[in-house]
Amino acid sequence: MTQVRVSEGILEGEMLDNVFGGRYTSFKGIPYAEPPIGDLRFKAPQPPKPWNGVRSAKEFGPINYQVDLFKPGAPVGSEDCLYLNVYVPEVPLKKNLPVMVWIHGGGFLWGSGNDDVYGPDFLVRQEVILVTFNYRLGVFGFLCLDTEDVPGNAGMKDQVAALKWVKKNIRQFGGDDENITIFGESAGGASVSYHLVSPMSKGLFQKAICQSGVATNLWSQAFEPRERAENLAKKLGFNSRDDKKLYEFLKTIPKESFILPEVAVTFAMQNSMDLPFVVTSEKDFGQERFLYGDINEKYLNIHEGVDVITGYVEDEGLVGIFLNGALDKTVEKINFFLETMVPLPIARNCPIKEQLDVGREMRNFYFQNRVVTKDDWEQILKFYSMNYFTYNIIELQKQCAKLNKKNKFYLYKFTCKSERNGFKNVFNVSNDPTIIGDKPVVCHCDDLTYLFQVNFLDLNLKKDSKAFRMIEQVTQLWTNFAKYGNPSFLETKWEPFCLEHERYLNIGEELVLESKPEHEEYNFWEKTINKYCPKK
């Protein structure tokens, strides 16, 4: 089956060989919305127009215009980027296969659904249909002027449009439109987390997996988005605060102007993970709003009946060291600026005097108030892991466990170590001889290499290797959840998270059910944050 009729017309795909045996059908570059160009820049996506005849689906569509952090170089892509890809396993005489829709990460700034990072080979072997897609990023997807013209969240509305297209058309590929699992990592994981509470996303999926990112991670929440938009305009030579003039200026400026290195650095690196253009609470101008109100309150009304897996990798904080500009710079900041070690909620909400007090408490907890050196990199890593990822992930899991709803919540910690763990090289962490060396670590994004054929890393893999056994294990956990709602594997029964036992699955070479994740460290953070930022 290489031809499929969808709502807009006929697609011609192609049969491809899986790198590990078998075959699958690939349909690439399928438009799921109109190109968001011209007057549609910053606007909610519009339905795609039909085509005549047979449309070739053998090449990927353009990706959003960007500088790719994984592969730095000249900007690539186009504003015309709203395309998706469907991969169908070769399963004779079977219909209504489970569907898994992947939402890529990249800080809401870069990335795509293409197979340079997200090759489908591992997952389609498990007899599921895989869908990946592009959405608008950075300024194009997340600019917010707090006006009717640009209320924000265009990129998240792109994601909703892709999910609606899948819901409408996936049966034509042999998929079950009543068994759709959305999953994503980093900004993609946070995106999945937002879909769990967005009114626009309700009913479009049945299960969800949030990897290394949730909606309560502060880096995914817009902070003073109008101020950022005005600052961007000033960087580009425009100084008026008039709503219409500001909108017209940003709507008509060449796309290349948004990717100037000075602009990217100013916004993305000012406070490490304080990302420039992300998800915002939309003001009401009569539009369909993706998100509004406080995200923690929204989680009291998570879509009922949707089961959720959430988790993190063992050494998330390595990306924090990278974003701070290398280990020696990080050490210098910690030694000379107490506010470097202030948890993000306190940094955003408390006066500087309290921040300095918190910095002292954190320094004492992690370093016993001694002078910090590069030899302390593991403790530095722990702090950044909690600050950017782990604390909010565990906190949200506990919050969801209190809900009296028909949802099951599963938690994991990803500890797989093998030659697949290549992202410390991407983030340049391993280039510093004083950090890590040959010590095996599980960096932010390393879980991707056990779910996808990450082609740009050029990782060799043999079927009789330890790495391949872990890939089989991880992909079966994920696809068992997608198929049956039960993520258990062989003899390992993965229990839902509850406040009494706080069970989570340690996913490594072996699968081990453990309790109370990061217990001592989490409790210290919770006590500190509640002291300075008490919940309302």
Rounded (10°) CA dihedral 344, 345, 349, 354: -70
Contacts of 55 (CB under 8 A, 6+ apart): 9, 10, 11, 12
Catalytic entry in 316, 361, 518, 521: 316
- Cα distances from 488 to residues 74, 97, 307, 322, in angstroms, run 44, 19, 14, 35
Q: Give dist(CA 199, CA 196) in Å, integer.
A: 9
Contact yes or no for 346/533 (Cβ under 8 A): yes
Q: Give dist(CA 31, CA 429) in Å, integer.
A: 38
3-state secondary structure 359-374: HHHHHHHHHCCCCCCH
**Strand-strand pairing, 97-103 and 23-31:** unpaired
The phi and psi torsions of 505 (rounded to 5 degrees) equal -100, 125
Catalytic (active site) residue 316: yes
Nearest residue to 314 via CA among 410, 441, 421: 441
Please, what's the b/e burial string for 108-138 (b: 16 or more CB within 10 A of its CB; e: otherwise)?
Answer: bbbbbbbbbbbbbbbbbbbebbbbbbbbbbb
Q: Give dist(CA 346, CA 354) in Å, integer.
A: 8
Would you tell me how many other CB atoms lie within 10 Å of the CB of residue 164?
A: 18
Catalytic (active site) residue 186: yes
The one-letter amino acid code at 23 reads: R
Q: Give dist(CA 261, CA 441) in Å, integer.
A: 31
Catalytic entry in 281, 314, 444, 518: 444
With H, G, I as helix, E, B as strand and everything else as coil, classify residue 500.
coil
Q: Which residue has the tokens 């089989």?
A: 472
Nearest residue to 117 via CA among 525, 446, 483, 517: 446
Q: What share of the chain is helix, strand, coil (3-state, %, to 5)?
A: 40, 20, 45
Catalytic entry in 112, 186, 272, 281: 186
How does DSSP assign 121-147, residue by residue?
A: HHHHTTS-EEEEE----HHHHH---SS
Q: Give dist(CA 417, CA 314) in Å, integer.
A: 10
Pinpoint the alpha helices (H) of 125-242.
Answer: 138-142, 154-169, 187-195, 225-235
The phi and psi torsions of 93 (rounded to 5 degrees) equal 65, 20
Catalytic residues: 186, 316, 444
